Amino acid sequence: MEALLAEQPDSQEALAERCLQLEDALASAASVDCFEDLADFAILDLRGEGLSALPESFGLLEALQGVSLSDNQLTSLPESIGQLRQLEELKLSNNRLQLLPKSLGELRGLEELDLATNFLSYVPHVAKLRGLVKLSLAGNCLAGDALPHLGRLQRLQRLDVSVNQLESLPDSITQLRSLEILCAHTNQLNALPGDLGHLSKLQDLDVRYNALSELPESVCSLASLTSLSVSGNALQRLPDGVEHLVTLRNLSLAQNHLLDLPPLWRLRKLEMLDLQDNLALTSVLENRFRPAVLDRCSSSLELAALLKFGALRDLRLGTVDSKPELLKMLETDELDLCSMQLRWIPPDLGGLKLLKLKARQNQLQALSAKLCRFQRLQVLDLYSNQLTGLPAEIGNLKSLTELDVSSNLLLELPPSLGDLSCLVRLEAGKNKLSDLPSSLTKLSCLSTLGLRLNPLETLPEKLDELQALKVLDLGSTPLGKSLQLPQQGHCPVRRRLYLMHKYDALRSIKLCRSQPSSLPEDFDAWGRGPPPKPPPASVRAKCAEKDSAGYHRFFGSGYGDEDMPCFASRRSAVEEAGDNMHLRKVLLDIEAQ
């Protein structure tokens, strides 16, 4: 026997002859003496030898650590195989096995067991192999409860049960805390275990070609997942939390019924995305199929961001390469995202050199601080969204001249808005603002301030420092309604607005929609107020200093019904703008008006 194994055949015919001799030798081995020659062998490779059976005395090879009997015609294994206590690797793929011997469960040192491509329908003794690291049962006849007590294999790292007839995976599979690869494609699975997210080390999940209509939410908890293959199922949507799979590199979603895509912009490491053959994501255009994700929608924006800023290189949408068309979206200085049903704007867009960003009429609930890195941005339009707040970093948009955050759910405006030194127009109507930050009075270029439809009851005390303010809209606010009531005594707010109209640029004060003119009907009466009190003698000498309202006051010997403020000298548009040509043009227009 040893001579047969040691002999090196010098031709194909000699190799075939040697295989026949070896098979005959094994088949006729029935005595201890015959296996004494193989007693010291650690590895035995009998692949493709045409073996149909093993003798019971095969278990006498107790030194074996690895045995390969793949590609034979074995229909059963001898019970004596349980005597191979040192066996670590056993490969029996592509045979005709229908049952496994009970003694197989005694191979406690076995780490790799390959039973692929057989006729097994039940494997009860495999669960006793507590040391298993790799187990392949692919290509068998497994169905129903064919994998009992699988959760006992606590060391198992790779499990392959693909190409069977399984309708479900055992719940105990979620106890395999060491599992890294789970391959269950080409079965009849209609659901996955709800606690699949407990497999914290799982890196590769392959459930292609099954009957899945949804994935459990717990899939989004697989923090180590790098590959997710769910092609060839009946999925209409993916779980909302799929964007939390930040380690994902490959995502295969082909041949499903997807209606839309989940947010993918956080998957910065994604390298391959397969969306082919999802009919709901395609539309007929000019007699050819064109992926709908190339139209104006949130998915197109996210895919474009992944292509430009992420690792995505392999994008499969159809037969035509769609990457150039997606990237073209971001090759502009004016990005129009209006009415795209966006729930967020990818923060990576903060790396673009935009002048205008329009995202009105979407479903934005928050604005990332990373989007406040646009150094050249002049127009930011966030009208009609669901924003509940603005990031403090919005003050970094130093070039911003127009900001529209009206029709949102804002409870307050961040104080950093006062750092937008170039801001000319601020629309914040139809929110939930009850007051304004005092820093707003630092916006020396502000020309339009829209605050209608807010629960606003007061204005900043130093509002009259906004010397360029031309339009103030307080329509349908508690403050606006109170200003429409007959004046009772002195009203500081009325007085302040009157003086801003008389000495500054303020020309329009809107208190309600039905207001017939740009100013309230009784606006002239707003200038009435109590005479100023004579200042102390020590102060009269400093009469040229500004008071708290920002005006120079000169006190004489008598006082009439009105104060006698003298409009302080103002800086010209050229002085105010400096080298900022865009701001200079805006201020010159205001002066001309």
String of DSSP letters for 103-144: GGGG-TT--EEE--SS--S--TTGGG-TT-SEEE--SS---S
Alpha-carbon distance of 119 to 141, in angstroms, equals 6
- Residue 384 — left, alpha, or beta (φ > 0 → left; ψ -120 to 50 → alpha)? left
Per-residue pLDDT at 579 exceeds 90: no
Q: In what order do the strands lie in the sheet with 334-336?
A: 334-336, 356-358, 379-381, 402-404, 425-427, 448-450, 471-473, 508-510
Alpha-carbon distance of 458 to 479, in angstroms, equals 6
DSSP label at residue 576: H
Alpha-carbon distance of 64 to 62, in angstroms, equals 6
| Mean pLDDT of the region 12-34 | 55
Question: Which pairs count as long-range contacts for 509-514, CB under 8 Å and 24+ apart, including other chains?
Answer: 509/472, 509/474, 510/452, 510/471, 510/472, 510/473, 510/474, 510/475, 510/480, 511/474, 511/475, 511/480, 511/481, 511/483, 511/484, 512/475, 512/476, 512/480, 512/481, 512/484, 513/475, 513/476
Query: pLDDT tens digits, residue range 102-137?
Result: 999 999 999 999 999 999 999 988 989 999 999 999
The β-bridge relationship of strands 314-316 and 272-274 is parallel
Per-residue pLDDT at 527 exceeds 80: no
Token pair, residue 426, equals 């601020």
Per-residue pLDDT at 580 exceeds 90: no
- Let me know how many helices (H) and strands (E) the chain has, helices first: 10, 24
Q: Count how many residues are written for the chain.
A: 593
pLDDT at 336: 85
Q: Is 499 in a helix, a strand, or coil?
A: helix
Q: How sure is the predictor about 570, in pLDDT bands with cuts at 50, 70 and 90?
A: low
Element spanning 475, H or E:
none
Whole-model pTM: value is: 0.67
pLDDT at 428: 95
What average pLDDT does the structure give for the chain?
82
Alpha-carbon distance of 385 to 134, in angstroms, equals 52
Alpha-carbon distance of 95 to 74, in angstroms, equals 5
- 65, exposed or middle or buried, with CB in 10 Å at 0-12, 13-18, 19+? middle
- Most confidently modeled of 14-18, 350-354, 459-463? 459-463
pLDDT at 554: 37
Query: pLDDT tens digits, residue range 257-282?
Result: 988 887 787 888 999 999 888 877 75
Mean pLDDT check: name the lowest of 237-241, 428-432, 561-565.
Answer: 561-565
Alpha-carbon distance of 418 to 439, in angstroms, equals 5
If you write DSSP's letter for every residue of 197-242 in order, what string do you get? GG-TT--EEE--SS--S---GGGGG-TT--EEE--SS--S---GGG
The β-bridge relationship of strands 250-252 and 272-274 is parallel
Mean pLDDT check: name the lowest of 128-137, 249-258, 498-507, 554-563.
Answer: 554-563
